[in-house]
């Protein structure tokens, strides 16, 4: 169990689509269109709000057509003084030695507040848009070599050579190193290959959003794999949240969000949502073959959400903490003053004196909480 809690938010390059706060609240649960602007005022304001609301860190996400996440992170870090920023970084399009220098530079400029969340790319179609045509198995092999070089560049003080399947370097060395600390690299991936890469190279492992019993098993597997390499892993879990002052109001809000999201993504503008990278991934996994892929995606997203008052959501997150989660990413609509009040209330409930709940046992076949 990890008693040291890190609360994480997020920084987008531009607002969620929608003409009103209610529309943006709903479309937060729809797949993301491939078009995304870069709004400097929005980035700075969002980063400051993360910091003001008591969050420790924020994630900047990545996709082939979105603004560069390193530059978005740089803008967010410049607007804050305490917030740490993890940058989603896809292994492959950039040389690992160059990417390591980018991280080291951003970390030095921000006073030790930058980290990299290295990803393989969950959609073949999306990575191909950046010229990466390797299949997923080859991408995993390459990522292992990438992470080896990436991490070595971040710590090596002498020139080094490397000859591998995907990379050859001669006399590599970064002229600057990041601030020394424990959590510089994170990695996700629920496959055995992903778990092994995290165990060998990462400081933080992002577990997938699974039911509680499966989450416990997944954490145990990842930590056992890390222990086999003489290492430890901190565990990060993304949590989608719909909250309101009471549980009943939160349930009503979830129903309204679902209806609005379905309405806003249907009709003549639906093509904008149908080309979303999340649906690329669903199609490749055989999950978007039905007549209403957008409706299926929205339903699945809302089905996994933590719905309730701040106290109720905090209690559910308490089970994750008892299972070993130390970094909790709160993904929730933040379009109104009340949204921010609710986030601050949730953060306050999570920051209160933590008493681990008694062990909770669920049957092997039961899903949910």
pLDDT tens per residue across span 335-359: 999 999 999 999 999 999 666 665 5
Dihedral over alpha carbons 260, 278, 343, 106 (to 10 degrees): -140
- Higher pLDDT: 363 or 21? It is 21
Helix or strand holding residue 162 (H, E): strand 160-163
Please identify which residue in the block is written with the tokens 């055989």: 286
Q: What is the pLDDT of residue 190?
A: 85
Q: How many Å apart are CA 183 and CA 206, to the nearest integer? A: 13
The arithmetic mean of pLDDT across residues 27-43, rounded, is 95
Question: Cα–Cα distances in Å, from 31 out to 280, 291, 301?
Answer: 10, 16, 9
pLDDT range class, residue 369, cuts 50, 70, 90: very low
Q: What is the pLDDT of residue 44?
A: 98
Q: How does pLDDT run across 183-217, given as a tens digit for each residue?
A: 899 999 888 999 999 999 999 999 999 999 999 99
Q: What is the pLDDT of residue 262?
A: 95
Q: How many Å apart are CA 310 and CA 330, to the nearest integer? A: 12
The arithmetic mean of pLDDT across residues 11-29, rounded, is 96
The residues with which 86 forms a beta bridge, in sequence order, are 59, 115
Centre a 10 Å sphere on the Cβ of residue 221 and count the other Cβ atoms it contains.
15
Spatial contact of 136 and 124, defined as CB atoms under 8 Å apart = yes
Nearest residue to 7 (alpha-carbon basis) of 42, 65, 57: 57
- Higher pLDDT: 53 or 368? It is 53
The residues with which 114 forms a beta bridge, in sequence order, are 85
Nearest residue to 119 (alpha-carbon basis) of 97, 142, 98: 142
Q: How many Å apart are CA 183 and CA 233, to the nearest integer? A: 9
Nearest residue to 271 (alpha-carbon basis) of 298, 293, 246: 293
Q: How does pLDDT run across 130-176, given as a tens digit for each residue?
A: 888 888 889 999 999 999 999 999 999 999 999 999 999 999 999 99
Q: How does pLDDT run across 75-92, given as a tens digit for each residue?
A: 999 999 999 999 999 998
Q: What is the pLDDT of residue 69?
A: 97
The residues with which 89 forms a beta bridge, in sequence order, are 118
Mention every residue, 6+ apart, whose C-beta is less than 8 A from residue 320: 212, 215, 237, 239, 328
pLDDT range class, residue 367, cuts 50, 70, 90: very low
Q: How does pLDDT run across 106-134, given as a tens digit for each residue?
A: 999 999 999 999 998 777 888 888 888 88
Q: What is the pLDDT of residue 2?
A: 62
SS3 call for 189? coil
Q: Is the pTM of this model over 0.95?
A: no
Question: Is pLDDT of 1 > 80?
Answer: no
Q: What is the pLDDT of residue 209?
A: 92
For 58-67, 264-273, 316-325, which range has the lowest pLDDT when averaged over its residues? 264-273
Q: How does pLDDT run across 271-313, given as a tens digit for each residue?
A: 888 888 888 877 777 765 555 889 989 999 999 999 999 999 9
pLDDT range class, residue 361, cuts 50, 70, 90: very low
pLDDT range class, residue 180, cuts 50, 70, 90: confident
- Can you spell out the DSSP letters for 217-268? HHHHHHHHHHHHTT---EEEEEEEEEE-SSHHHHHHHHHHHHHHHHHHTSGG
Q: How many Å apart are CA 315 and CA 252, to the nearest integer? A: 20
- Between CA 119 and CA 128, with CA 125 as vertex, the angle to 5 degrees is 75
């Amino acid at each position: 169990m990890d008693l040291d809690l890190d609360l994480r938010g997020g920084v987008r390059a531009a607002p969620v689509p929608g003409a009103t706060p209610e529309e943006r609240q709903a479309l937060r649960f729809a797949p993301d269109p491939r078009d995304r602007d870069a709004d400097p005022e929005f980035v700075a304001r969002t980063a400051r709000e993360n910091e003001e609301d008591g969050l420790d860190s924020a994630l900047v996400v990545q996709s082939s057509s979105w603004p560069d996440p390193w530059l978005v992170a740089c803008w967010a870090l410049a607007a804050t003084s305490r917030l740490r920023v993890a940058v989603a970084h896809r292994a492959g399009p950039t040389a690992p030695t160059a990417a390591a220098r980018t991280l080291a530079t951003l970390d030095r400029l921000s006073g030790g507040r930058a980290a990299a969340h290295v990803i393989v790319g969950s959609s073949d179609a999306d990575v191909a848009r950046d010229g990466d045509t390797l299949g997923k198995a080859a991408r995993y092999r390459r990522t292992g070599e990438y992470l080896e070089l990436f991490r070595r560049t971040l710590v090596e003080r002498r020139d080094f050579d490397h000859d591998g399947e995907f990379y050859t370097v001669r006399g590599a060395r970064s002229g600057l190193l990041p601030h020394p600390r424990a959590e510089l690299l994170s990695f996700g991936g629920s496959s055995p290959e992903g778990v092994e890469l995290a165990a060998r190279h990462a400081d933080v492992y992002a577990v997938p959003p699974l039911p509680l019993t499966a989450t416990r098993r997944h954490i145990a597997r990842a930590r056992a794999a890390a222990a086999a390499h003489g290492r430890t892993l901190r565990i990060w879990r993304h949590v989608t949240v719909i909250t309101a002052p009471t549980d009943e109001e939160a349930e009503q809000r979830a129903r309204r969000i679902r209806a609005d999201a379905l309405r806003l993504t249907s009709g003549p503008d639906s093509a904008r949502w149908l080309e979303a990278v999340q649906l690329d991934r669903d199609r490749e996994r055989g999950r978007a073959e039905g007549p209403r892929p957008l409706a299926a995606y929205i339903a699945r997203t809302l089905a996994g959400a933590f719905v309730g008052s701040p106290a109720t959501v905090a209690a559910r997150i308490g089970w994750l903490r008892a299972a070993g989660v130390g970094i909790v990413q709160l993904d929730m609509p933040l379009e109104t003053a009340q949204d921010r009040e609710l986030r601050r209330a949730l953060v306050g409930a999570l920051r209160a004196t933590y008493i681990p709940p008694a062990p909770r046992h669920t049957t092997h076949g039961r899903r949910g909480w």
